Each structure stands twice: as C-alpha cells, then as structure tokens.
Amino acid sequence: MSDNIVAPPKTRGGEFFAIDKAPFEAACKLGLNPAVAYLAVTRGAGRDNAASFWSVNAIEQHTGMSRPKAKAALQALIDCGLFKKERGGARPRYRIGRSDEPQWIWLPNAIVDGAADEIPPLRLLRQMQDVRRLRLFVAMYDSHDLANDGGISRTVLWQNHTLTKEGNRGASTIWAFEREGISTVSTRSPLFTIYAAPGVTGEARETATKEFWGGLRALEALKLVEFIPHLFESDKPEAELIHAYAIDAGEPWEKDLATAAHRAGYLCLSPGQQQRSIEHDRRLFPMPSHIDKLAVIGIARLKYRPRTKMTAAWFAKSKEQAEVFMPTYQEIAGSAVESAGEIRNSPLEGANSPSETGTG
C-alpha cells in the first residue's frame, strides 16, 4: 500500500490535504476545469476532507482560471453531487462528498499554493489543457512508495540501467552504468490505464502509448517528476533497496553519496579503465562481490511531497543509508590512493564535481 492511501487524520491543518480517489475521477469525467476546481476547493478542506470555505476566488487565484469559468466549474461539481453548498454569501461553505469506502490520496498543499516564487503546479497542469495529464500527476501520488522504493513503485514505472563489471579490488567489484536509463511502464498500472483501457490493442494502443509518454515527458520538463537511479540487490520484487545514486536530481546527501561512490570506484580502476569511464560518461561504484545480482533502477520521484509521518520516516531512512555507506566509500577511496602511492583525481572532483556544477 502506498504511503498516501491511508485514512487522513481527523484534525485540520498541516501542509497536505486528502482527496478521495473516486470523487476526483468523477470530477475528471466532467472535464479539465471541474477537475482543477475540485482540487483547489478540496485543498481548502485540509486533512479531514470534510468541508471547505474555498470557493471561486481561490480557484481563480491559484489556477489562473477566469472567474466565469471558475463559477461554471464549481457549479458543475455541485450539480453532480460532488460538492454540497451548505452556506452561501461572501463566505460560502461546501461539503465534500465521499465514496462509501474512500481511498485516500494525500497531496502536498504546494501543488495548489506553489512554493516560494514558483508557479503552482495545478496552474501549470491546467495550462496544458489535457485532463489526462492532471489525472496522471495525481495517480503518481497514488503510486508513491517512498519507504520501499524511494519514489513511485518500481512495479509501476521505472528506468532500466545496464550494468557492467569494470574491475575488482579486494572483496569489492567495481560496477559501471550510464547516466541515462530506458523508461518502462507497466501496461497494467493505473498510470498507463489513464490512456489505454485494459484490452485496447492495435493502432489505438500505439496512440495511447505515445500520448502516455508525451504526458510523462511534459511532467518531467516541468520537473514535477524526476528519475533518480537507485541501487537494488537485484531486479526481483523481493530485492531490497541499497541506496539512491543521485546524479541530476535528488536530495543533497544522495548526491554527495553518489559522488563518493563514483570516486571510490574510479580510484580502484586502472588508468585505461578510468579513461573509458570518462569517454562513456559512466557512473561507478564498488560493491561487495557477493552481491552479484545487482540492479540500478531509475525511480520516478515527485518534486512536491506531502509532509506526512511516512515522508519524514523516508527522509530519516535515506539519510541513514547515506551515513552507513559514505564511510565505506571513503575508506575504499583512501585505500586505493594509498596503495597507488599517489592521488589520482576523479573527474567528479574539483571544478567538475556535480555538487558544484549542479548536474548532480
């Protein structure tokens, strides 16, 4: 179960809000504007998803929808029973409908409010004028599994990276992989079925596939979702996550760990092997040789995350993984330097360091 699909607390406030999946899907069937209005008004209900004081002004302010269109979208939601207007006037109140067995998805307030000086994601998604992209974005939160996969579940959406053995040093094998992975989606996943219903074949399926990847790339271009390589014991479902290997995106400690892992692997190679890794832009890392079924899997991670207890637990776990592996990589690098009798600088150090160039 995703860290978002749990009953929301009964208290209000906080930096996230809850939506019931079925009513949101019903709003999407009404069209893009009602779906956008649904999220904006529900954001005003906070965690309990009971009732909201947010109305046309909030829709207009946060989404860029014109006032007449915002009024029409809100009225459509009322007419179909998704909202019930309990009070009118200058400060209206809307009761939010729920399904008999709600399936809660927790969303960060920032997707409606924006963060710092950034344009709110909901406004950007409305500007795309494609309700399926909005559905895809929300469905990603439904599939987010930070605790186990570091982002969207790798059974739903992932990137494959080809691993090669570059060398050995002591009890470690030096592995290499290229920066870019090959993106794959499970055609049975709730992400893909937004574009292609089960059983669709032929030209219709091909068109839906192109539109899915077009939608995903559009979200990537806005950096609402980013792929981050992760080391796993294998590509099997039962394999455990070892740690993230952040290159172009990720948390600062994940990037620092990737730099340390690459430096350790680089210093363990011969000059010829080092040159090849540079020419092919390969990322390196040493790993105990008995872990020989390794997989590097790119995990899709959403930029804005609800600040829940489970998100906090993931932050702690991720930092702990970095703290465990950082000394090991530093020790391997130091040993390689000592045995070589001279310091061989890694191309990721100094002016070319990802932490300084911003390339991760």
Residues 6+ apart with CB under 8 A from 307: 14, 15, 16, 108
pLDDT at residue number 3: 43
pLDDT at residue number 337: 85
Local confidence pLDDT in tens for the 360 residues of the chain:
444 433 333 434 458 899 999 999 999 999 999 999 999 999 999 777 799 999 999 999 999 999 999 999 999 999 999 999 998 877 899 999 999 999 999 999 999 998 888 899 999 999 999 999 999 999 999 988 887 778 999 989 999 999 999 988 888 999 999 888 899 999 889 999 999 988 888 999 999 999 999 999 999 999 999 999 999 999 998 999 999 999 988 999 999 999 999 999 999 998 888 988 888 889 999 999 999 999 999 999 999 987 778 788 888 888 988 999 999 999 999 988 877 765 445 555 443 344 333 333
Tokens of 311: 């998100």
> Domains of the chain, with CATH numbers?
16-141 (1.10.10.10), 149-357 (no CATH)
pLDDT at residue number 346: 54
Compute φ and ψ for 44, nearest 5 degrees: -70, -10
Residues 6+ apart with CB under 8 A from 194: 132, 135, 136, 139, 212
